Amino acid sequence: MDFFISLVALMFLAGFFFQRKYRNATSVDLLWCASILLLTVGHLYQRLGGWLPSGEGLGLYWRPLLMVSLVCFWSLRLGSLILLRLIRYKGEDSRYRFYRERWGNKADYYFALLYCFNFLSAVILAWGMAFSFERLEFYWTDSVGLLVFCIGLFGVWLSDKQFSDFKKQPGSKQRVMDQGLWRYSRHPNYFFEWVLWCSYPFFAYGSEGFWLSFIVPLLMWILLTRVTGIPPSEGQSLRSRAEAYRAYQRETSSFFPWRPRKDLT
């Protein structure tokens, strides 16, 4: 496991120097996806005691392999979207442009902290998810976990599709997206991303570290609502849409979907 952690640390270090040279911190998202996948594989390797379990063969270990396949699917899906965005737009993600302008001359210092924080969060998340590998038997809670995972995945896809369709409408750059799921939450994509990660305590049920697995949805909630999710996204929206977005903030729940409030201003 030390090898995987060291490899991920070197990846983040290289990513930081890349952003320092090219003034583009979007790589931190791609590194975060890749590192969670690598660290999860590392934990599985540690649980199995090697790449090929001795004696019984891989058939006995189909459940831990299923857990890792879910992480692989999530990581490859999100990572490919980030990579396509990097190739298509080339410039820095608007969230990190917001931070770069806000931090000014201290940007490199704060970006170093950001890369370190993402490295630590990836290590902690992979550690919390690893408790789902401890059981070889399939419990009923695994069915619930798979259902929660699929609901989150579908919600993220639907949120992204609705936003993508909205951006294709004439004059969308001057308007606020408040249609579909976005009528009930300002960030339904982040909410359903969090729902997806809420599946891991169900997968970890029955393991010795069951209660520790709750660090996964808790940490994801902090990341999405306090760090790299909502704050920079809303900062950019306020700069580009000003009063229209402030009205949207007053009327619509920030994270958890809820019926819109009537704007009395």
pLDDT digits (tens, 9 = 90+) for 203-251: 999 998 899 999 999 999 999 999 888 998 898 888 888 899 999 999 9
Cα radius of gyration rounded to whole Å, the chain: 20
pLDDT value, residue 264: 44
Instruction: Please name which of 119, 106, 113, 90 lies closest in space to residue 29, comparing C-alpha atoms.
Output: 119
State how far the Cα of 200 lies from the Cα of 189, in Å rounded to an integer: 19
CA distances, 5 to each of 1, 72, 109, 173 (Å): 6, 18, 23, 42
Position 263 pLDDT exceeds 80: no
Question: Where are the chain's structural domains?
Answer: 1-136, 139-265
Mean pLDDT computed over 101-126: 94
pTM given for the model: 0.91
Contact yes or no for 190/198 (Cβ under 8 A): no
What does the alpha-carbon distance between residue 105 and residue 35 come to, in Å, rounded to a whole number?
29
- HEC per residue, 185-206: CCCHHHHHHHHHHCCHHHHHCC
Q: For the residues 184-197, what does the mean pLDDT come to? A: 97
CB-neighbour burial class of residue 251 (10 A; exposed 0-12, middle 13-18, buried 19+): middle
pLDDT, tens digit, 9 for 90 and up, residues 8-27:
999 999 999 999 998 889 88
pLDDT at residue 54, as a whole number: 55
The overall average pLDDT reported for the chain is 90
- How far is the C-alpha of 256 from the C-alpha of 178, rounded, in Å? 15
Q: How confident is the model at residue 1 (pLDDT cuts 50, 70, 90)?
A: confident
- CB neighbourhood size of 154 (10 A): 13
**CA–CA separation, 63 vs 137, rounded Å?**
7
Q: At what angle do helices 215-222 and 188-197 cross, to 10 degrees?
A: 160
Mean per-residue pLDDT for 115-136? 93
Confidence of residue 89 (pLDDT cuts 50, 70, 90): confident
Structure confidence by residue, pLDDT tens digits, 23-66: 889 889 999 999 999 999 999 888 877 665 555 556 678 898 89
